[in-house]
Structure 1
Amino acid sequence: MTVCVILAAGEGKRMRPLTGSRPKVMLPLAGRPMLEHLLNAVMDAGITDFIFVVGYGEASVRNFFGDGTSKGISIRYVTQKRQQGTGDALMTVRPHVHSQFLLLNGDMVLHSDDIKAMLKTPAPAMGVFTSNHPQDYGVVTMDGDIITGLEEKSLHPKSDLINAGMYLFEPGIFEELETIRPSPRGELELTDALMTYIQNKTLRGVRLSFWADMGSPWDLLGVHEEMMREIIPEHQGVIEEGVIIKGDVQIGSGTVIMSGSYLEGPCIIGADCKIGPHAYIRPGTAIGNACHIGHSSEIKNSIIMDKTNVPHFSYVGDSVIGSGCNLGAGTKIANLRHDKGTIIIGGTDTRRRKFGAVIGDDVLFGINCSVNVGSIIGNHCRIGPHSLVEGKLEDHTVIRR
């Protein structure tokens, strides 16, 4: 029986400040950690035996998934004690793997049909995907189904095919890993161990029909939008008279939707929330547990994590907000440039025409604050009343007016 090894040890530094208190794989997509979406896809492909390689924030992964009994599967954990690259992460499972195994990066979303196709392919094999910006990834060249080249982040990519971080290996990969040396950034790279396979023309490529990688917070929001279209409506909370619900909406237990509120699916409201009165929840929004969205507040196409409050007269659009935040009355987050151009953050083009802000955990706003498009606000910031926020604020920044 094939074992699935999932690499889930990394912090995800490019996801900061959202990874300040949680590992990247536990960031939410459509109301569930991204790792759970990946796990479910692998389960749908018929695999029931898993090994998670954990490290940064590993307690949150272990506590959430346990030993897999609740899902009818087996999950074992191996700790990567130091972040020394994907090759080092894979070597940690060597004592536990004795036959063919599936290897996945934990920070991506796959479809189960592609996983099934991979399992039918002779090992060694690697998943490849067509990208419109291959220069951001490992660029793959192929001759038929044989991979002939792999070049990391080439400025002049030789194809539009990229390494999707999905592999099927035999235990012989560990012998190849023993031969590699640290890369210029001081890490043992799994891709370096593939070069012998490529030179011998034994590494097969499996073209994936769907693949989503979360490297930056705006990638998180883009994948979230796609996954929200597949939610199943469920109403477990209390819905008062005068509430209007249109489309597919999930409402968790203990949540109260107060009179005059308008919920337009697809959207997700977690457990033990208070929504309204007269709140407007627009499509693409996922609100975590124990949140309060108050009177005349509008939330559109955003991820709001647990215990965050947007109490009244505020607007949040196309944003990702961490846990334990509070937006003072009248706080507005802009999400569209006047020239309708794509949003640039720290010199990086997000390729999104609409994007508001990324806000870390435990950020408190005074009344009537304005947040400009593409702002990054670190954890534990304190924003005084009537402040304008733009650009990037480091953790623990205090703005007084």
Structure 2
Amino acid sequence: MKAICDFTKIPLFQTNGEPFEHPACFLPILGKPFVQHIIEYIERSGIHEVLIFLSQYADELEQLIGDGERWGISITYSLLKKTTQISERIITSEAIAEDELFLFCNSLQLPFFSKNHLLEPMRFSDEKSDKDLLWSVCTKAILIQGTTEELQETKVFSLDVCSANTYLESLHKILVRNGEGLIMMGKKIREGVWTGPGTKISPSATIVAPVYLGSQVNISSNSIVGPDCEIGNGCIIDTESSVIGSSVFAGSYIGKSLYIKGCLVNQNKILKAELDTVYAATDDLLFSSVESNLPSGTKFKAPFFSRLLALALALVTFPVYILLLLFQALAGNKPLHSVTIIPIPQKLTAETLFKPFSREIKVLRSRSETQGILLKHLLWHLIPGFWTIACGKARFFGTPWKTTEEYSHLTKDWQGLYLQSKPGIISEADILYFQYPSEEMLFASEMYYKVMDTPRYNAKLLGKYLRLLFSRRND
């Protein structure tokens, strides 16, 4: 059986005043975009051929979903003009036989059906509201005759992101079910509470289940989170704030002493679901992107003590550095090769965001080649980096320089965060992750470090780094 996905209609929430500029199918559910859960559910139903029709946000959807290789299925795409009916394309498609049953689905609802439901023509509706979910098992003939509404109706549990209210209701329903039916990211730390790596909860904070917390989330003192909440990667809930029955998207900052209930928060915009109204905050102490909330200079000054310590370590490890150069040469590689990087920090303007200043540096190996094994990081990055720190061009801890190619692949928010960061040889991601992290995890890690960057926090990272050098991470 094949699945035919109508992902052509990707609405924004039409609210009173300005729209909430976040495509509905990308809304987060348990750490993943809703549309990703759809593809994973289709695969777990035993369907291995998927044809997706795209129109709006075609590039973003194709980049997110890919060709299906990570799920062991085949995904192909077809671009549809606004004036073309998807039923016309399906009827004329040679990839589908005339009497072949296929699953027809959309990007805004997800019915929890069983494999037995795929054996005969039927359509799915919600078990409580009786709402038609616009998912069906049908054939070309049924589409031609226009009899999809006359198909046998099957009532099932479902999730829905057609509106802010139905999205929050779906979040509540799936949290109450402990994520049953979906592939869930994160670790269950107690009944009804899940967290991702690097998340920190103050001892005086109150977490009311069910709650899903992403990676690198910071819940500050005397704050209350839950029930029925999802807090995205890299978010910060500041002191004495309450978040109830809401979803806070990745990279958002909730200021001090705020009360949020029944809302969707996306950096500096908040959508009150009940009132169907968007509020755009202008005060950085309310809702804002973490990177824009924190001041940052445009000139970097390495601490004198760090430079002095790095010089001493560089002299002590100089023989090792020479051996590394010889090893590279004997292995047939250039001892040092040039890469073009975007130095940081830089003044954040519209011009620098699109055309930042760049320069060339010499490196032994790329970071992706050594990520996850700290002994390799020590040899190929830290020991050569001692000289960089001694020259005042970087610190021990900070954000690693990105090449021009890596920078071009970052989102605009990430580019803004990067340009305001302080350069360092050791990153928090080097310590946290056993293998090179995904872009989402790397972004969350760098955002979290930017907020937590203090001498005391760097001392803790140093302790972790030294402990992990002698752990199984280096086997």
Query: Which band: TM-score by shorter chain?
Result: 0.5 to 0.7
* Letter of the structure 2 residue corresponding to residue 171 of structure 1: K
Count how many residue pairs are aligned between Structure 1 and Structure 2.
280
Residue in 2 that maps onto 1:389: none
What is the alpha-carbon distance in structure 1 between the residues aligned to residue 18 and residue 168 of structure 2? 12
Q: Secondary structure at the match of 1:10?
A: coil
- Report the Cα offset of residue 130 of structure 1: 5.8
Q: Is the 8 A contact 2:10 2:107 kept in 1?
A: no
CA distance in 1, matches of 2:193, 2:250: 18
- Following the alignment from structure 1 to structure 2, what is the Cα–Cα distance between the partners of residues 23 and 356? 19
1:43, distance to aligned residue in structure 2 (A): 2.5
In the alignment, residue 102 of structure 2 is paired with which amino acid? F
Task: Give the 5 Å matches for 1:179-194.
Answer: 194=146
Q: Which residue of 2 aligns with 1:325?
A: 268
- TM-score, length of structure 2 as denominator length: 0.51
Query: Residues 154-174 of structure 1: CA distance to partner in whole angstroms, max 9, x if unpaired?
Result: xxxxxxx65331222223356
| Pairwise CA RMSD | 3.5
Contact 2:231 2:249 survives alignment (8 Å): yes
The two structures have a TM-score, normalised by structure 1, of 0.60
- What's 1:390 paired with? none
For 1:167 and 1:65, the matched residues in 2 are separated by 22
Aligned residues of 2:256 and 2:285 also touching (Cα < 8 A): no
Paired with 1:127 and 1:19, the residues of 2 have a C-alpha distance of 30
**What is the match of residue 221 of structure 1?**
168
**Counterparts of 1:30 and 1:358 in 2: how far apart (Å)?**
24
Alignment correspondent of 1:164: 133
Taking a change above 3 Å as real, the CA distance of residues 129 and 69 of structure 1, as seen in their structure-2 partners, is same
1:272 is the counterpart of 2:272: no
For residue 285 of structure 1, report the CA deviation from its aligned partner: 0.5
Aligned 8 A contact 2:4 2:103 in 1: yes
Q: Which has the higher strand share?
A: 1
Shift of the alpha carbon at 1:89?
Answer: 6.7
What's the CA shift for 1:210?
Answer: 2.1
Runs of 5+ unmatched residues, structure 1 = 133-160, 177-192, 238-244, 328-332, 336-344, 346-354, 372-401
2:231 alignment counterpart: 287
1:307/1:129 CA distance change after superposition, 3 Å: closer
Give 1:94 shift: 2.1
Amino acid at match of 1:34: F
Higher helix residue share: 2
Q: 1:272 Cα shift?
A: 2.2
1:22 Cα deviation (Å)?
A: 4.3
Higher relative contact order (CA 8 A, sep 6+): 1
The corresponding residue for 1:37 is 37
- Indicate yes or no: 2:248 matched with 1:304: yes
Q: Deviations over 1:44-90 (max 9, x none)?
A: 32212212222211222222221122222222222223265553575
- What's 1:97 paired with? 96
Instruction: Tell me which amino acid in the other structure corresponds to 1:219.
Output: T
2:123 maps to amino acid: M
Aligned residue for 2:152, secondary structure, equals strand
| Rounded Cα–Cα distance in structure 2 between residues aligned with 1:19 and 1:58 | 20
Structure 2: state its 5+ residue gaps. Answer: 288-475
Name the SS of the counterpart of 1:208 in structure 2. Answer: strand
Contact 2:209-2:226 within 8 A present in 1 as well: yes
Shift of 1:298: 0.8
Aligned with residue 127 of structure 1, among 109, 124, 127: 124
- Looking at structure 2, the residues matched to 214 and 18 of structure 1 have their Cα atoms a distance apart, in angstroms, of 19
Q: In the alignment, residue 364 of structure 1 is paired with which amino acid? A: A
